[in-house]
Amino acid sequence: MSEPLILGIESSCDETGVALVRGCELLGDSVASSVDQHVRFGGVVPEVASRAHLEAMTPTVRRALDNAGVALADVDAIAVTAGPGLAGALLVGVSAAKAYAMALDKPLYGVNHLVGHVAVDQLEHGPLPKPSIALLVSGGHTSLLLVNDLATDVVSLGDTVDDAAGEAYDKVARLLELPYPGGPPIDRAAQKGDPKSIRFPRGKWGDGTYDFSFSGLKTAVARHVEDADRRGEPLVVADIAAGFQESVVDVLTRKAVDACVEHGVSTLVISGGVAANSALRALAEQRCAEAGIELRVPRPRLCTDNGAMIAALGAEVVKAGLPPSSLSLATDTSLPVGSPLAV
């Protein structure tokens, strides 16, 4: 008997994502992004994002179904991001998922956005070894997770105590007058610079925890820019970008590999939007190879927010035989990572 067909809906921030997954196979997906509407504000405006989700939801569902070559009636279950995320954005997705579940008389599963970022790797590399370590790096989250079971047992080892890595990229890009979102332009600029020319601080470098901190790094870059301006010196944007990026990826990869070694885990998954960063991938490959650790990183399209990650986690939840969520399912903007399934 074939595995159930899961419709996944993601709307936690500024991407409306819908996908169809069967087991570990992605049949079709579609993403509508509102990022262009946020550029002039230098960050996501929750009300704008919510309105964009409302307008994009139905067309995005239709495109995903068409891409997968299936009909809405073929769907066996609905999975939706219940949290964490922006309150209004989450509400649009959960409301849509409830409507589809009621109309189709199919079970509804409210799942965790963060765990979804890990589950999506299975669509590219197959079942995730148990246990695994996951490094989640995005605009809103920077976390190290011990993944014993995607559906039932995910443990937080460490998190950022201030800015997330992606957030730091956006703020530094603004300081350097680079476009929003800041990750891709900083990555491109850094490839032309010398990462050794400016030594920026490494937050929580050797504090014995798996927590992260990027606020001090952002402040150090700001002071460097201010000092150059005060002295009337031109900014070498490429070198600043390279030094900043070197600091970020150095801390991320060192703590991730250390976590694998300490917990006796031989597989590291890096996911989230920042996982598309070339320097992060290169240094992670080097350090994992040196430590004998298998590195798994989804292709860039699967790293950013998308419906495939939610459908993939939904497939794991259904496979585990967990009970569906109630139609009174509420959103949770701060849903803890230890709760793959919301109730």
pLDDT at 146: 98
Which phi and psi (to 5°) does residue 303 adopt?
-75, -40
pLDDT at 40: 82
b/e sequence 74-83, b meaning 16+ C-beta within 10 Å: ebbbbbbbbb
Ligand-binding annotation for 149, yes or no, is no
Segments making up each domain of the chain, as ranges: 5-124+302-342, 132-297
Ligand-binding annotation for 277, yes or no, is yes
pLDDT at 42: 80
Ligand-binding annotation for 141, yes or no, is no
Tokens found for residue 84: 């964490």
pLDDT at 297: 97
Ligand-binding annotation for 42, yes or no, is no
Ligand-binding annotation for 217, yes or no, is no
Ligand-binding annotation for 273, yes or no, is no
pLDDT at 239: 98
CATH dotted code for 5-124+302-342? 3.30.420.40
Q: Are 279 and 245 within 8 A, CB to CB? A: yes
Ligand-binding annotation for 146, yes or no, is no
Ligand-binding annotation for 235, yes or no, is no
Ligand-binding annotation for 113, yes or no, is yes
Q: How far apart are CA 18 and CA 174, in angstroms?
A: 31
pLDDT at 247: 97
Ligand-binding annotation for 272, yes or no, is no
Ordered per-residue pLDDT tens for the chain, 343 residues: 589 999 999 999 999 999 999 999 999 999 999 988 888 888 789 899 999 999 999 999 999 999 999 999 999 999 999 999 999 999 999 999 999 999 999 999 999 999 999 999 999 999 999 999 999 998 889 999 999 999 999 999 999 999 999 999 999 999 999 999 999 999 999 999 999 999 999 999 889 999 999 999 999 999 999 999 999 999 999 999 999 999 999 999 999 999 999 999 999 999 998 999 999 999 999 999 999 999 999 999 999 999 999 999 999 999 999 999 999 999 999 998 887 888 6
pLDDT at 178: 96
Ligand-binding annotation for 258, yes or no, is no
pLDDT at 198: 95
pLDDT at 338: 80
Shared fold status for 5-124+302-342 and 132-297: yes
Domain 132-297 maps to which CATH number in 3.40.50.1820, 3.40.250.10, 3.90.550.10, 3.30.420.40? 3.30.420.40
